[in-house]
Amino acid sequence: MSEKTGISRKTRGEHCLNIFVSYELKSKLKELADKYDRTTADIVRALLRIGIPMMEGLSTAEEIMVKEYIQLFRKLRQVKVLKEI
């Protein structure tokens, strides 16, 4: 399709993701797939769907902790300066 139509065409494989994992992790994924009668790809997709929101939550919590730690450090430093005066 041409660019004139305004419709973009996805390249084959654009939606694919290749990752390398340890043999232990791969065997755990295969065990889960066998246990729940699913493909390994289905297990990986489910884990990504579950894990992404968890990772976002952890990252947000980490950002908040760092900001609060910096604020606390600055307050403690100001108190120390005031005590020295």
Separation between Cα atoms, residue 58 and residue 38, nearest integer Å: 29
Mapping DSSP to helix (H, G, I), strand (E, B) and coil, where does residue 1 land? coil
Residue 64 CA, chain-centre distance (Å), reads: 17
pLDDT band of residue 1 (cuts 50, 70, 90) is very low
Better pLDDT: 9 or 84: 84
Mean pLDDT of 3-28: 80
Burial string for 1-14 (b: 16+ CB within 10 Å, else e) reads eeeeeeeeeeeeee
77 φ, ψ (degrees, to nearest 5): -65, -40
The pTM of the full predicted model, rounded to 2 decimals, is 0.61
